[in-house]
A = this chain, B = another copy of it.
Amino acid sequence: MTDSPSGVSPTLAERARSGDRRALARLLTEVENRTSKGEEALRALYPLAGHAHLVGITGAPGSGKSTLVAGLVSEARRHDAPAGPRPVAVIAVDPSSPITGGAILGDRVRMQIHAGDRDVFIRSMASRGHGGGLAMATVAAAAVLDASGFPLILIETVGTGQSEVEVAAIADTTIVVQAPEMGDEVQAIKAGLLEVADIVVVNKADRPGADRAAAQLRAMLTVGAQHDHAAVAAGRPRPKRPDVMLTSALTGAGVPELLAALDRRASRTRSSETDGTALKRAEAQLSGILAQRLAERLRSGDVAERREATLRAVAAHQLDPYTAADELLAALTDFDRA
């Protein structure tokens, strides 16, 4: 694999960079499927990335994330926007199912108002089938979009699971969306969502109780930040105290203010906090690729048969998994030396 200009994939990468959206879509598929073409393109594009503002948007089902994302896209595309209109990309990490074939995308239908706008690029990504490498796949897709000229990349994660929260947390800025209904605060705490938030958005501010919910959240977050003895004892930094903002994706209230807050964060000199998330992204990429390399080697040559037999022995409880792992690693090393 080289990144010579005569290769096929650099051309795909070059076409994506020159504004060819179909090439960009194809390239993202190659990257998501971890093909050699995708790898080649990412090798070429990665050094050109690192300029976009990655914004993770997460929250419980029903919080109105997708509508808020659509509102942010519209605001970023407004011709009279304070910072001017700019290209914006959305990566929607969506649960996929062989049963539905990904057909249930009702939330995403709203985005079709941007269908004719080539400076809005929307990409759905399966949350399953990455073998635990969801963060890696998302970071790779964001790097491609970044290198292809999108200064603002919104990463929407549906659901409140471990992997989904991790994906939102590797963004430069993480927004946690809440609906003002009672009980949501507790749901967010239970899901460990608030600790990854840079901005907490109380959405559906048109509903009664929104102001009270925002006030409660602010009070709770202040107390939480002051009393996190666990973090102090464990040598971890006290959690940052996120901003709380009110929006109504329905009426559009608060959305310009939210985008302005995002832009202020993007224009700040990269702080150590931001560098920390860049390191986290690098780590997600590296460990994902290393795991992939290891898996490939275990599935090739003489080692593959050995692996199959070992798995069956572990499944039958004839062999413990640690001994099995050590045997496989030894087999790999023998294989390397032969």
Query: Which residues of A are at the interface with B, using a C-beta cutoff of 8 A?
Result: 39, 42-43, 46-50, 60-61, 95-101, 104, 127-128, 132, 134, 158-165, 186-187, 189-192, 194-195, 224, 228, 230-231, 234, 236, 239, 275, 278-279, 281-283, 285-287, 289-291, 293-295, 298, 310-312, 314-326, 328-329, 333, 336-337
Contacts and interface: CB of A to CB of B under 8 A. Distances in A.
Nearest to A329: B293
Nearest to A224: B99
B47 A312 contact: no
13 contacts: A39-B322, A46-B320, A47-B317, A47-B319, A50-B316, A95-B190, A97-B194, A98-B195, A132-B163, A163-B163, A285-B321, A286-B328, A290-B329
Contacts of A283: 311
Contacts of A312: 279, 282
A186 to B, nearest CB: 7
A289 B189 contact: no
Contact of A192 (B96, B290, B295): B96
Nearest to A220: B99
A159 B191 contact: yes
Query: Most B CB atoms within 10 A — which of A159, A228, A231?
Result: A159
B320 A97 contact: no
The list of the 4 closest CB pairs from A to B, nearest first, reads: A161-B161, A50-B317, A46-B320, A282-B314
Contact of A161 (B100, B159, B189): B159
Contacts of A315: 275, 278-279, 281-282
A157 to B, nearest CB: 9
Contact of A104 (B98, B158, B190, B287): B190
Nearest to A46: B320
A293 B333 CA distance: 14
A128 B192 contact: yes
Contacts of A230: 98, 101
Contact of A164 (B162, B319, B336): B162
A68 B192 CA distance: 24
Given A98-B231, A159-B159, A190-B95, A46 B321 contact: yes
Given A161-B160, A224-B99, A236-B98, A286 B195 contact: no
B234 A321 contact: no
A270 to B, nearest CB: 10
A159 B96 CA distance: 16
A88 to B, nearest CB: 21
A115 to B, nearest CB: 23
Contacts of A279: 311-312, 315
Contacts of A50: 316-317
Nearest to A94: B190
Given A43-B323, A291-B287, A325-B286, A189 B314 contact: no
Contacts of A316: 50, 278
